[in-house]
Chain A
Amino acid sequence: NAGVTQTPKFQVLKTGQSMTLQCAQDMNHEYMSWYRQDPGMGLRLIHYSVGAGITDQGEVPNGYNVSRSTTEDFPLRLLSAAPSQTSVYFCASSYSTGGGQETQYFGPGTRLLVL
């Protein structure tokens, strides 16, 4: 299994440009999430999905869109990039093992710089 994969690893954008961060998992996990990690702020949830066709907002959803057409893929779209979106983005997938337990598996991250 490749686990959770993210592309690209690094991206530079100009203010106002749009782009899609790709995330895929091959573990057949039902849940997928996007987080951003900033110095001094920790990991903050952007959007998450509990299954194909179902998404919901996290703590910091503004400026981002998601969709989940398949179990495997969960792309994150930046509509009009702003310098405040400079961050490291992590995708994660997880499944429920019962009793409330759930383990999130994280991808390697995408480093985004918006100029």
Chain B
Amino acid sequence: QKEVEQDPGPLSVPEGAIVSLNCTYSNSAFQYFMWYRQYSRKGPELLMYTYSSGNKEDGRFTAQVDKSSKYISLFIRDSQPSDSATYLCAAPGWDGGSQGNLIFGKGTKLSVKP
């Protein structure tokens, strides 16, 4: 079992919808998580960084971690066609920091229809 699991989708929603993207993790030692966004034929780019307790909000995006169930979520409010991309969750390969070693979920492909 991979340490970070993610439903690959695809997920299609109408513009303006609230989107929920989810991952599960197996290593309780993970202390922080990341969400990356990857547009088609581009490299991933960091979207949000969140520690293993609580929520983090950045504009229309909210990242949430539930340690008890080992569940990571990314919510997108008022989704826009420009949000259409693949979203990848990630965790560090080391307890003390990734040092270049990240474990990624498979990514969820999101399409927001106008």
Contacts and interface: CB of A to CB of B under 8 A. Distances in A.
Interface string A1-45: 000100000000000000000000000000111010000111111
A43, A58, A106 — most chain B CB neighbours (10 Å) = A43
A49 interface: yes
Contacts, number: 76
A4 B44 CA distance: 12
Contact of B31 (A33, A49, A100, A106): A100
Interface residues of B, number: 26
Nearest to B93: A45
A32 B42 CA distance: 18
Interface of A: 4, 31-33, 35, 40-45, 48-50, 56, 58, 90, 92-94, 96, 100-109
